Amino acid sequence: MEKQNLSMGYQLVNSKFKLENNTADLFFTILSYTSKNDKEFNRISFTLGDLEAKTGRIWSHSQLKNTVDDLQSQNITIENDNGKWGKYNPVPTIQFEDGTITCYLNQQMKPFLLDLKRFVKSDLSTMYALRGGYIKRLYLLIKEYQKIGKRKFVLTDLLNILDAPKSFYKFGKFKERVLVPAITEINKHTDIFISVEEKKKGRKVHEIQFQIRGNWGRFSIFKEHIIKEFAHQKLTTLEFMGKGNTPKELWIAISKEGKPYDFFDNNNQWTDKKAVQKIWDKLYEKREEIFSSPHLV
């Protein structure tokens, strides 16, 4: 996918709302058709095929309608610097006809998306790669402070911004369901590498502080490098279940199209999208071993 930037005003990034993964992808796709330098909102129009090409997955008509329903049920609470706040339905009108999606943004949202002086910019493909609405939002919240190198949250304030359920106010649940997966996803797929420090007040975690640096080992760079430099070479062995549920190890190679196959049996190739992604994930986990292998040339 051609690189496409997404720019959001810092007030919108720090506002209170919750989006499921599909809803977040649709919302960010719509916002990507605006520019921080625009003075007015224009009608936004793109095809269902465009949405599928951008997000890398098929959207059924029912899935699209359910996602639109979810997006239009959201109210975003945005606080201004002077303490004032407002609730906004960001995309009050979305139409679908003859395969085309037409959207009109809420005019009251202009201060948070247009003619911006302070904003957070990200690559749209990065947002799609992150799996989960909470993770996408955490990435933007942390990325805002990339140049500073750290960002600290009082835990209850962060949970409020994310509009998290009450069960997440128990830190162990939040850590398991959101924080740990977010660190893994952000470090794998984005331009920043993060770690987190927990700070307690008494026996409970009161604050968390993210340490932020540039990320040069992210998955997209690894994948691009493997395809460009080591296509059709044996990379490493991975274990698979053979006949009779007997484990066997196969030497994995990657084609110039990015498809994995058995190095010693070209007919044994993986084409299923989920299977291909799973193999790439395993290769990424073994990246240090792969790059240190003496047989790679």
CA angle centred on 152, ends 81 and 78, rounded to 5° = 30
Residue 54 DSSP SS3: helix
Same fold, 1-124 and 130-215: yes
CATH number for the segment(s) 130-215: 1.10.10.10
Give the C-alpha separation, 118 to 12, whole Å.
11
Q: What is the pTM of this model?
A: 0.79
pLDDT tens series, the chain, 297 aa:
455 889 999 999 999 999 999 999 999 999 999 988 889 998 999 999 999 999 999 999 999 999 999 999 999 999 877 778 999 999 999 999 999 999 999 999 999 999 999 999 999 999 999 999 999 999 999 999 999 999 999 999 999 999 999 999 999 999 999 999 999 999 999 999 999 999 999 999 999 999 998 887 788 888 988 999 899 999 999 999 877 788 899 999 999 999 999 999 988 899 898 999 999 999 998 987 887 777 665
- CB within 8 A of 221, min separation 6: which ones? none
Residue linked to tokens 């007030």: 11
User: What is the residue extent of each domain of the chain?
Assistant: 1-124, 130-215, 219-291
Helix (H) or strand (E) holding 254: strand 247-254
Q: Which residues contact 45 (CB under 8 A, 6 or more apart)?
A: 100, 101, 102, 103
Domain 1-124 carries which CATH code?
Answer: 1.10.10.10
Distance in angstroms (rounded) separating the CA atoms of residues 181 and 173: 12
Contact 126, 32 (CB under 8 A): no
Cα(240)–Cα(248) distance, rounded to whole angstroms?
5
Give the distance, in angstroms, between the CA of residue 282 and the centroid of all CA atoms in the same chain.
19
Instruction: State both tokens at 274.
Output: 């989920």
